[in-house]
Chains A and B, each alone.
Chain A
Amino acid sequence: MSEGEMAIIKPEMMKSYIWLETADGSIQQVEQEVAMFCPMICQEVIQKGVGSSKNYAISLPQRVNPAMLSLIFDYCRFHQVPGRSNKERKVYDEKFIRMDTKRLCELTSAADSLQLKPLVDLTSRALARIIEGKTPEEIREIFHLPDDLTEEEKLEPLKNTMDDPRIRLLNRLYAKKRKELKEREKLKSVEVEEHVDERSVDDLLSFINGRDPKVVKTSKSKKKNKKRKEQKNGSSNGTCEALEKDLHNLDSKSQSAEIVDNTASCLGDVSNLPSMEDDIFTPKTEFEDGYIDDEIDPALKELLDREVEDFARRLNSSWVLSIGQERQPVNFSINGNGTSRRLTGPAAGHK
């Protein structure tokens, strides 16, 4: 039937329609004023003169399927009416976007390809509200995304997320991991030596005890290990006090920053997250700029690699999760020696 015939047969239908074809081949028609609300369709009609009949239906982009198209047109049909108040529109919008996440994504995609900016804004905001505060794992689950980043790539952003001394630990692990990966390529055989564990713990303890980093020796004896273990298990108060003194005595910028970092993480780790200690199996590293100690022998690679991944995983689950909460639990407020200290939060950089 041609349009002319239709006009005669149904005189009361004064509306004109636009014909649209979705990627799957199905063709539908929609009232002109509704369709023209979409810039992309508008453009096709005006510039190319298509859409006026079934044979000249406008081909819609692939991202638009019939179900989404119908949703979009519901939206357009409501909003293209000029007389509605802002409040009415808002109420409609809020109801409109109540749909499952998958459909929200499809809708965003479809609206984007039709260049329907108000709807894209609406759905994007809804999706932003959904993803805010969630961990990467959760996002992957909700949206069925592939886990296609390397460990390194996953650890990288954590540097920027918090003004937290443990970031330095992370940086060291990251750099270490990077170096490991390089060296791994050269190696063939891997042996695990027994003293690996103790050394790691020792390094861990010295880090936690936050002794002046310059004083940390590269070679350790078992005796020292035991001593430090005792120290750690003993009064954390004493340690904190010593560190406070160190802090006030140093005037070098990087040193004091490091000491404060180590102090804070010492205090933080000792009192808030004892379980983290077990996970931070970092080998000895140079503290100054995160550069890795060269004396790690190849034998440790595999074990350290696992430890780093374990740490990273834990970061993903417990720590990164805590980043998402309003006030992260790692507020180091400790009255170790009567002084109350508080990190002033992630404000402008204090160096």
Chain B
Amino acid sequence: MNNLPEDCIAKILSLTTPLDVCRLSAVSSIFRSAAGSDDVWNHFLPADFPAGFAAPAGLPTRKQLFFSLVDNPLLINGTLLSFSLERKSGNKCYMMAARALNIVWGHEQRYWHWISLPNTRFGEVAELIMVWWLEITGKINITLLSDDTLYAAYFVFKWNHSPYGFRQPVETSLVLADTESTDNVVQPSMISLMQDSGGEEGQSPVLRRDGWYEVELGQFFKRRGDLGEIEMSLKETKGPYEKKGLIVYGIEIRPVP
């Protein structure tokens, strides 16, 4: 490879992964130079950004833009949706704010109230005061996502000082809303939002690095050319008991590692 010009090396690097490129920039000086080139990182940045995307200022190289999008999710659509990239592959990730979700009774002050918490990327999160009918739904257009990637949706939440009513599992479902196949009845899965309530049923919540919990709502594979919306929901409407104390950050959608 001594005689390969730098742009050939750059081309070869662009056919690997962001992870490989970073690692290989430690091989030799010509690799380091090729690994930092815009040609390589343009390849890892999405070919098409979501509507409303504006690259942050002050990032002259494409590599910097890539890592900025990995580490600092960007708000698009006002403060309802955040956009970022997955580190290893450059696939697109999104998070929908609680305000972007349809929270039944969310507008009623005696049931839910909207608060601002520090260190959250959206202006508001929803805090559950008390409700019998818990139903939270989110929708996202599948064309926003990266092709040929397996995605999972995560409900991101935490508890206030006195949660109640969540020892019982809640129903979650994730379905690709396809206008043609309306006869598809999807079986919801049952998950437990509390960690210690006998979690044999499905997924259990996991603590994230930002201090919030997340629980997987379901997975789907996005193929090139897929259209329609992914509908994700979480509900508990059957139990005759009140639910209290849930704080909803939003729903995050990112590739399965």
A132 to B17, CA, bound (A): 8
- B8's contact among A112, A135, A146, A153, by CB below 8 Å, is which? A112
Which chain B residues border A344 with CB–CB below 8 Å? 206, 208-209, 214
Contact B211 A260 (CB under 8 A): yes
B-binding segment of A14-22, A123-131, A200-208? A123-131
B59 close to A (CB within 8 Å): no
A223 close to B (CB within 8 Å): no
CB distance from B43 to the nearest CB of A (A): 11
B-binding segment of A28-36, A77-85, A176-184, A316-324? A316-324
Contact A339 B210 (CB under 8 A): no
B88 close to A (CB within 8 Å): yes
Which residues between 241 and 258 of chain A lie within 8 Å of chain B, taking CB atoms? 247-248, 251, 253, 256-257
* Per-residue contact bits, chain B 229-257, to A (CB 8 Å; 1 contact, 0 not): 00000000000000000000000101101
- B209's contact among A108, A316, A343, by CB below 8 Å, is which? A343
B1, B2, B12: most-surrounded residue (chain A CB, <10 A): B1
Contact B25 A348 (CB under 8 A): no
Which chain B residues border A136 with CB–CB below 8 Å? 23-24, 26-27
CB distance from A254 to the nearest CB of B (A): 9
Contact A139 B12 (CB under 8 A): no
Contact status of A347 and B15, CB under 8 A, knowing A143-B1, A153-B32, A157-B22: no
B61 close to A (CB within 8 Å): no
Contact A128 B12 (CB under 8 A): yes
Category for how many chain A residues contact B: 35 or more
Which chain A residues border B254 with CB–CB below 8 Å? 347-348
Contact A341 B31 (CB under 8 A): no
B-binding segment of A158-166, A227-235, A285-293? A158-166
Residues of B bordering A, CB below 8 Å: 1-5, 7-8, 11-13, 15-17, 19-20, 22-32, 35, 67, 70-73, 84-88, 93, 95, 118-119, 195-196, 204, 206-211, 214, 252, 254-255, 257
Between A and B, 26 residue pairs with Cβ closer than 8 Å are A109-B5, A120-B8, A120-B11, A131-B20, A139-B24, A140-B27, A143-B2, A145-B1, A145-B27, A149-B28, A153-B32, A154-B26, A156-B26, A157-B22, A157-B23, A157-B25, A157-B35, A251-B118, A324-B19, A340-B206, A342-B206, A342-B207, A346-B87, A349-B73, A349-B84, A350-B210
9 tightest A-B contacts by CB?
Answer: A128-B15, A143-B1, A348-B84, A253-B119, A348-B93, A350-B209, A350-B210, A346-B87, A154-B26
Residues of A bordering B, CB below 8 Å: 63, 105-106, 108-109, 112, 120, 124-125, 127-128, 131-133, 135-136, 139-140, 143-149, 153-158, 160-163, 247-248, 251, 253, 256-257, 260, 264, 316, 320, 323-324, 327, 338-351
